[in-house]
Amino acid sequence: MAAGIAVNSLGHGDLLWLKAVLEQATTLAHVRLAEGLVQSCFADRVFFSNSGPEANEAAIKFARKYQRVKAKEKSDKQAFPPHLVEDPIPTDFEAFSNSFHGRTLDKYWAPFELRSPGVKFVEFGNLEAAKKVVQQQRSVCI
């Protein structure tokens, strides 16, 4: 069975389905789902987003923030201020050409030209180029 988002493959007017929908409509479904996810995995928080691009943007922001917090913790343990610590904070990302990123496909970027700062694109499948970029940049590997 398959159906699009606007079509219900469970039938029309089924009383059990209607009862389940009505019960669910009176609860905060996303809160219950978040609680269940936190209880069953390593995470202590859950972030929901509307789309793949939003999820990617949030993951990039979270990873960059994590790296900055870790760098600050490291500099706090040392006698040097963060700007004097030799290791650069790894906040750049590497992406592959022709990879799918939902509605952020390359053809949609062309009119705007500006992409996210700190992102280096490498030919898909070129592992040597990928290694080189990671070694030369302050890349976060996720």
Q: How many domains, in total, are found in the chain?
A: 2
* 62 and 74 both lie in a single domain: yes
Q: Is the pTM of this model over 0.75?
A: no
Tens digit of each residue's pLDDT (9 = 90 or more) over 74-108 = 877 766 555 555 567 777 878 887 765 544 555 55
* 37 and 99 both lie in a single domain: no
* 34 and 64 both lie in a single domain: no
Is 52 in contact with 102 (CB distance < 8 Å)? yes
Q: What does the alpha-carbon distance between residue 132 and residue 126 come to, in Å, rounded to a whole number?
A: 10
Tens digit of each residue's pLDDT (9 = 90 or more) over 104-124 = 555 556 665 555 667 778 888
Q: Cα 110 vs. chain centroid, distance in angstroms?
A: 23
* 61 and 24 both lie in a single domain: no
Does a structural domain hold residue 119? yes
Does a structural domain hold residue 19? yes
* 83 and 115 both lie in a single domain: yes
* 26 and 73 both lie in a single domain: no
Q: Which residues pair with 121 in a beta bridge?
A: 95
* 23 and 62 both lie in a single domain: no
Domain that holds residue 18: 14-48
Q: What does the alpha-carbon distance between residue 24 and residue 29 come to, in Å, rounded to a whole number?
A: 7
Is 37 in contact with 51 (CB distance < 8 Å)? no
For residue 142, name the pLDDT band (cuts at 50, 70, 90): very low
Does a structural domain hold residue 105? yes
Is 132 in contact with 107 (CB distance < 8 Å)? no
